[in-house]
Amino acid sequence: MGKETVKPPKVVTVVNQKGGVGKTTTAINLASSLVSLGKKVVLVDFDPQGNASTGLGVGLEDRTLTSYDVLVDKCPLKDALVSCRQEGLWIVPSNSDLSSADLTLAGGKEKVTAFSSSLAEFLSDPKEADYIFVDCPPSLNLLTINALVASDSALVPLQPEFFALEGLSQLLLTIRDIRKVANESLRLEGVVLTMYDRRNNLTGQVEEDARKNLGQLVFETVIPRNVKLSEAPSYGEPILSYSPSSSGNKAYMMLAEEFLKRQGGLSD
């Protein structure tokens, strides 16, 4: 029998141009939950606010090399990795330097492919990770476009509120355009309903509309509003270690299992 072919890490961009929808919370906690299921995960913080870095306990003093260095200065991604407290989870941190990346990239030849170029070497060694998640800023700027151009798929956290589907439509058009001109293999990984409140009638209406329009692209697992999920980042921990018995942790573990089943990586 021949050796089993090892797949390169799958690159997933966590994206929504609207802020405050649980995007970074989803990036951190889905990554952490996947690690607890035996996967090796790298999280790349592409938001100048650096919330994913803070939420995983990486202080400013530990952000010697950041995603800015990877994106703009062609620093090897491997050199910028910071080990998190959870073994098997790494982050490429971010800081405010990244806020100037858009202007720097706009004048360069690799305006939308800079991150793809930086990732190439890392992706060539499948042993490094199983998944790479990119946590994007809440806008469809060049940082987000670079992430999508370099990705296999986009994962969209969606808060069930009045304008949610309108914003999703704009994002789907952007993904379609990127598929046409820069990354024909990019696909929608799925939509995750976050901040889910069963007591709110609007929540049910938005969920019904989303499932009607997108079908199985909407994950069955929903992420509830949960105080512990809000508290965990201030302690620099994912919900898995901060409050393992919380409804928030149970939901993200279910999401991780559903995510893996969709990849064919977890049996029933």
Q: What is the pLDDT of residues 76-134, one digit of tens each?
A: 999 999 999 999 999 999 999 999 998 899 988 889 999 999 999 899 877 789 999 99
Query: What is the mean predicted confidence (pLDDT) over 15-44?
Result: 96
Average pLDDT (28-48) is: 97
Burial 225-264 (b: 16+ CB within 10 A, else e): bbeebeebbeebbbbbbbbeebbbbebbbbbbbebbeeee
Rounded to an integer, the average pLDDT of 209-215 is 92
What is the structure's pLDDT at 127?
A: 77
Taking the C-alpha atoms of residue 62 and residue 72, their distance in angstroms, rounded to an integer, is 19
Q: Read off the pLDDT band of 73 (50, 70, 90).
A: very high
pLDDT value of residue 3 = 52
Cα of 90 vs its chain's centroid, Å: 13
Q: Kindly report each contact of residues 237-242 with a partner whose C-beta sits within 8 Å and lies 24 or more positions away, as own/partner.
A: 237/55, 237/56, 237/57, 237/85, 238/28, 238/29, 238/31, 238/32, 238/33, 238/55, 238/56, 238/86, 239/29, 239/32, 240/29, 240/32, 240/33, 240/36, 240/86, 241/32, 241/85, 241/86
Q: pLDDT averaged over the chain?
A: 93
What integer is the mean pLDDT of 203-212?
92
DSSP 77-115: HHHH-EE-SSTTEEEE---GGGGGHHHHHHTSTTTTTHH
**Mean pLDDT throughout 186-194?**
96
Q: Give residue 221's pLDDT band: very low, low, confident or very high (50, 70, 90).
A: very high
Residue 165 has pLDDT above 90, yes or no: no
pLDDT above 70 for 143: yes
Q: What is the mean pLDDT of residues 61-70?
A: 96
Task: State the DSSP code for 212.
Answer: H
Fold of 10-263: Rossmann fold (3.40.50)
Q: What is the pLDDT of residue 4?
A: 54
What is the pLDDT, as a whole number, of residue 265? 60
* Predicted local confidence at residue 125, as pLDDT: 78
| Residue 2: pLDDT over 70 | no
Q: What are phi and psi of 214, to 5 degrees?
A: -115, -10
Average pLDDT for 135-149:
95
Q: What is the pLDDT, as a whole number, of residue 1?
A: 43
Measured CA to CA, the distance from residue 110 to residue 146 in angstroms comes to 9
Least Cα distance to 65 among 36, 92, 101 occurs for: 92
121: which 2 tokens?
Answer: 């070497």
Residue-range domain boundaries for the chain: 10-263
Tell me the pTM.
0.94
